Amino acid sequence: MSDFRPICVSCNERYSCKRNGVTVAYTSESIQAADLWECPSCHYQIVIGFSQKNLSKRECKTDSAKRVYDSYLKNMVAGPGVDVEQMEPFQV
């Protein structure tokens, strides 16, 4: 069976999944759910496994949803994750 886990170039260790479903800034204008992985040796973190759907700010229907959206966009990883599939309407 193939092992698809990423390999840390510095440590030659396999990354492990630290948290499923974090929300990240995918582009400068959209957020998306993905998974946070970490090297067990140097603790370098990466985000992979993006969902199929972006959420843009114009899709946020309330002011509180827009504030949460801005906080995610400001921080690359600002978990806990939000299920992007459930964001319409953005339940905050």
Q: Which residues bind Zn ion (CB under 5 A)?
A: 8, 10-11, 39, 41-42
DSSP classification of residue 7: B
C-beta closer to Zn ion: residue 10 or 64: 10
Strand-pairing partners, residue 32, are 24
Nearest in space to 53 (alpha carbons), one of 89, 71, 26 = 26
CB of 14 vs Zn ion, minimal distance in Å: 10
C-beta closer to Zn ion: residue 41 or 91: 41
The 10 Å CB-count burial string (b at 16+, else e) for 43-53 is eeeebeeebee
C-beta closer to Zn ion: residue 48 or 53: 48
